[in-house]
């Protein structure tokens, strides 16, 4: 019933569809580069990988699959990674060698960073020339997201655990509107920066009926106003040599 409601009323593309489009494009472009002429497989990093990675579906197109997070995965989680590094992405610039990754994904991590500029600069530094960064994060220009981020930290934490118990890492929201994300990616030295938005509240809050219906209302209300949709997707490329 919930799935049907989301299908009927949820705006398209979904976050999953929009993110897959950016990742598909990145895999196709990067695997076609001359340095991958022999083996069309990429070195990728899920930066802030948490407990699951959207990059898993590309496993057979990945040569080296690295994950990094403040918290190590539980035994058995993220078994598909080739390596896991426990790192603070805002501080640990040496977590990976410069120029060692073809693709870095930051999936719902930017909103948690105390120093987003430093974290993005690190991710950009780890990219090879021409390598790609893909970011998803929340948009505080959506009225519900903005109101949520303005709540006292304690109340926000309680609400966060209610709707997203698995991902209850504290939110900061220091770089969380479409323009700020674009400026931050360019500030990290990335080129060809593109930013888009999708409505994702109903799906994100689908665990309970009241939050699902509230999310649906939020998605439908913001749908006609791209700058106010709940979720930001962005991409940029490291300068080619």
Tokens coding 184: 């931050």
Closest to ligand SAM by CB, 88 vs 196, is 88
Look at residues 40, 53, 48, 42 and name the one whose alpha carbon lies nearest to residue 79: 53
Residues β-bridged to residue 46: 67, 105
Closest approach of ligand SAM to the CB of residue 230, in Å: 14
Give min distance, CB of 54 to ligand SAM, in A: 6
Closest by CA position to 61, among listed 109, 96, 25, 95 = 25
Residue from 42, 90, 202, 212 binding ligand SAM (CB under 6 A):
90
Q: What are phi and psi of 144, to 5 degrees?
A: -70, -40
Does the footprint of ligand SAM cover residue 89 (CB under 6 A)?
yes
Is 107 a residue that touches ligand SAM (CB under 6 A)? yes
Is position 156 an interface residue for ligand SAM (rule: CB under 6 A)? no
Per-residue contact flags (x/-) with ligand SAM for residues 171 to 210, judged by CB under 6 A: ----------------------------------------
Instruction: Find the shortest distance in angstroms from Cβ 204 to ligand SAM.
Output: 10
| Given 71, 161, 186, 194, the residue binding ligand SAM (CB under 6 A) | 71
Give which of 228, 233, 231, 232 is closest to 143, Cα–Cα.
228
> Closest Cα to residue 199, out of 1, 11, 8?
11
Which residue in 146, 167, 214, 226 binds ligand SAM (CB under 6 A)?
167
Query: Among residues 47 and 222, whose Cβ is nearest to ligand SAM?
Result: 47
Q: Is 50 in the site for ligand SAM (CB under 6 A)?
A: yes
Between residues 97 and 165, which has the closer beta carbon with respect to ligand SAM?
Answer: 165
d(CA 172, CA 166): 17
Distance CA 50, CA 6 (A): 25
Close Cβ partners of 79 (under 8 Å, ≥ 6 residues apart): none
As measured in angstroms, the least distance from the Cβ of 172 to ligand SAM is 8
Measured CA to CA, the distance from residue 36 to residue 27 in angstroms comes to 11
Residues making contact with ligand SAM (CB under 6 A): 48-50, 52, 69-71, 87-90, 107-109, 112-113, 167, 169
């Amino acid at each position: 019933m919930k799935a049907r409601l989301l299908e009927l009323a949820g705006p398209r593309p979904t976050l999953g569809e929009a993110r897959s489009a950016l990742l598909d494009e990145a895999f196709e472009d990067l695997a076609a580069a001359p340095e991958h002429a022999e083996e069309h497989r990429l070195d990728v990093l899920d930066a802030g990988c948490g407990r699951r990675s959207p990059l898993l579906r590309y496993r057979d197109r990945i040569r080296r699959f690295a994950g990094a997070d403040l918290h190590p995965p539980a035994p058995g989680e993220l078994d598909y990674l080739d390596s896991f590094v426990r790192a603070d992405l805002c501080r640990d610039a040496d977590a990976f060698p410069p120029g060692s990754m073809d693709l870095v994904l930051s999936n719902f991590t930017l909103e948690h960073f105390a120093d987003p500029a430093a974290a993005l600069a690190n991710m950009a530094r780890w990219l090879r020339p021409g390598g790609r960064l893909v970011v998803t994060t929340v948009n505080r220009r959506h009225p519900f997201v903005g109101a949520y981020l303005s709540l006292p930290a304690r109340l926000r934490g309680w609400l966060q655990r209610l709707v997203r118990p698995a991902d209850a890492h504290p939110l900061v929201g220091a770089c969380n509107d479409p323009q700020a994300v674009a400026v931050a990616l360019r500030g990290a030295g990335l080129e060809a920066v593109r930013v888009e938005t999708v409505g994702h509240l109903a799906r994100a809050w689908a665990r309970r009926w009241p939050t699902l219906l509230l999310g649906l209302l939020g998605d439908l209300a913001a749908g006609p106003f791209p700058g106010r949709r709940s979720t930001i997707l962005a991409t940029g490329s490291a300068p080619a040599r």
